[in-house]
Amino acid sequence: MKYISTRGQAPALGFEETMLAGLATDGGLYVPESWPTLSAETIRGFRGQRYQDVAFAVMRPFVAGEISDEDLRGIIEGAYGRFRHRAVCPLVQVGPDEHVMELFHGPTLAFKDVAMQVLGRMYDLVLERRDDRITIVGATSGDTGSAAIEAIRGRSRASIFIMHPHGRTSDVQRKQMTTVRGPGAENVHNVAIEGTFDDCQNLLKAMFNDAPFREEIRLSGVNSINWARVMPQVVYYVTSAVSLGAPDREVAFSVPTGNFGDIFAGYIAKQMGLPIRRLIVASNSNDILTRALTRGDHTLGEVVPTMSPSMDIQISSNFERLLFDLYGRDGAVVSDLMAKLKSDGGFGIESARLDPIRDLFAAGRVDEATTLETIKAVHDETDGYLIDPHTAVGVRAAREVMAGLHAEGVPVVTLATAHPAKFPDAVSQATGVKPPLPEHLQDLYEREEKYAVLGNDLTAVEGHIRAELAR
């Protein structure tokens, strides 16, 4: 399998090089040259299989020839052996034809663990084989950071620096990143940036585009701009659809969306042959994607802080991957659109480009009051089931979009992207119940924090990384 850049200028690479590169040298994102397919018979054969076995079958075509079957199986078993639920990503029914897929049973209580636990092990394998070392730099609005730290800490061939927006994550999210101590924590560094997640991600991309710095520190990245981060997320669309009747029944998904990585994994599953009827982009008040998909209006707004902070994003990197397909995989057009986004703060998407995906993608924006109402509604309608604010945005968007489709017998799965205990304030405000942290995080509030605070300044951040690496 070869991977090509969405901007058309960087060399095509194999899987290993794509994973190590993170972002393409022309500033684009890597995507497979063509989509592998799963036949209806293969999908039917997944019924009753373990998550790990489906994961192997779904990921294999993307890595074949570079990661052996034996290594891939070992990576998958190691990654999901750490999950607190045997089904890895179980489904919970919350209404007629309405399900929630719990993606938060990994070590850091968010869906990021599903891919990050695989990615950490893949880095180890590849770097060991090449006798190489890398520096991973990541940007987080709250969840990618701790999942990445947990996946990379203690690995001898990588150091990790995570930038988060100062004061804009939940306390639990911040403490999960900044209290990591003890053996294996020596390679972990946290930086709070005075700015938004978009500023953090812009700094990250600027580092990738600074060729001498990129080479000097052997930069790699674990955000979903890295293809290897998105790939393992395709699996849970397949397992959940199969348990609801695929390939003989269509399924819809509602995805709390920020950087567009998770829902793009759903789009890949659809390209591979999974019968997905709808992919619902669920936005909080930062609704650029809802505007882009419904009205073709991709204009940046201010990043508004919300109670679902992981989705407080305007520059949604993976949308570039969808645009690449919408514009006939023409890298020059995508480059122009991205240049326009930088110079003019946005661009329009012609109706004719959106028409082919209108039947697949739907979108909904959910405000703060409705998010709280939805947490309460789900709690009251079930036997006290708690959802976090990101999941609530997904459930509400699904309820708004699905009315007609339920009548056709299409079930909807909302991706529960975070554990409710990561957002205790919002959950207890809505329901009066404070969700407890799992056992291994019980003492989180007593742990000592350590992080640097830096301005939104590339030179300062690069200088800080150099200085820390030299220590």
Ligand X SMILES: N[C@@H](CCOP(=O)(O)O)C(=O)O
Please report, as a single letter, which amino acid is at residue 331.
Answer: G
390 binds, among ligand X, ligand PLP, none (CB under 5 to 8 A by kind): ligand PLP
Tokens in use for 378?
């789900």
Catalytic residue among 2, 112, 342, 450: 112
**Smallest separation (angstroms) from ligand PLP to the CB of 453:** 22
195 makes contact with ligand PLP (CB under 6 A): no
**Smallest separation (angstroms) from ligand X to the CB of 441:** 17
C-alpha radius of gyration, the chain, whole number: 21
Listing DSSP states for 67-95 in one string gives S-HHHHHHHHHHHHTT-SSTTSS-EEEEE
Asked if 282 contacts 256 with a C-beta cutoff of 8 angstroms, the reply is: yes
Asked if 30 contacts 24 with a C-beta cutoff of 8 angstroms, the reply is: yes
**Smallest separation (angstroms) from ligand X to the CB of 259:** 4
Q: How far is CA 331 from CA 28, 66, 287, 323, 335, in A?
A: 9, 26, 26, 10, 6
Q: Which of 222, 227, 258, 223 is nearest to 35 (CA)?
A: 227
Mark residues 102-121: x for contact with ligand PLP by CB under 6 A, - for none.
--------x-----------
90 makes contact with ligand X (CB under 6 A): no
Of 121-129, 159-167, 256-264, 332-340, the segment contacting ligand PLP by CB under 6 A is 256-264
Q: Which of 367, 366, 368, 386 is nearest to 376 (CA)?
A: 386
Mark residues 412-431: x for contact with ligand PLP by CB under 6 A, - for none.
-----xx-------------
16 makes contact with ligand PLP (CB under 6 A): no
Residue-wise burial string across 399-436, b where 16 or more C-beta atoms lie within 10 A, e elsewhere: bbbbeebbeeebbbbbbbbbbbbbbbebbeebbeeebe
Number of residues lying near ligand PLP (CB under 6 A):
16
Of 244-252, 260-268, 397-405, 446-454, the segment contacting ligand PLP by CB under 6 A is 260-268
Give residues 333-392 in contact with ligand PLP (rule: CB under 6 A): 390
310 makes contact with ligand PLP (CB under 6 A): yes
Mark residues 201-240: x for contact with ligand PLP by CB under 6 A, - for none.
-----------------------x----------------
Q: Which of 143, 198, 320, 462 forms a contact with ligand X (CB under 6 A)?
A: 143
Q: Which of 311, 366, 398, 430 forms a contact with ligand PLP (CB under 6 A)?
A: 311
d(CA 277, CA 264): 15
140 makes contact with ligand X (CB under 6 A): yes
16 makes contact with ligand X (CB under 6 A): no
Mark residues 233-272: x for contact with ligand X by CB under 6 A, - for none.
-------------------------xx-x-----------
d(CA 173, CA 423): 8
Choice between 5 and 243, CB closer to ligand X: 5
Neighbours of 34 (CB within 10 A): 10
Catalytic annotation present for 112: yes
Asked if 179 contacts 447 with a C-beta cutoff of 8 angstroms, the reply is: yes
Q: Which of 141, 179, 285, 370 forms a contact with ligand X (CB under 6 A)?
A: 141
Q: Where are the extended beta strands (E) located within 88-131?
A: 91-95, 98-102
Q: Which of 352, 418, 353, 354 is nearest to 386 (CA)?
A: 418
414 binds, among ligand X, ligand PLP, none (CB under 5 to 8 A by kind): none
Asked if 164 contacts 198 with a C-beta cutoff of 8 angstroms, the reply is: no
Contact residues for ligand X, defined by CB under 6 A = 140-145, 223-224, 258-259, 261, 310
Q: Write out the catalytic residue numbers.
A: 112
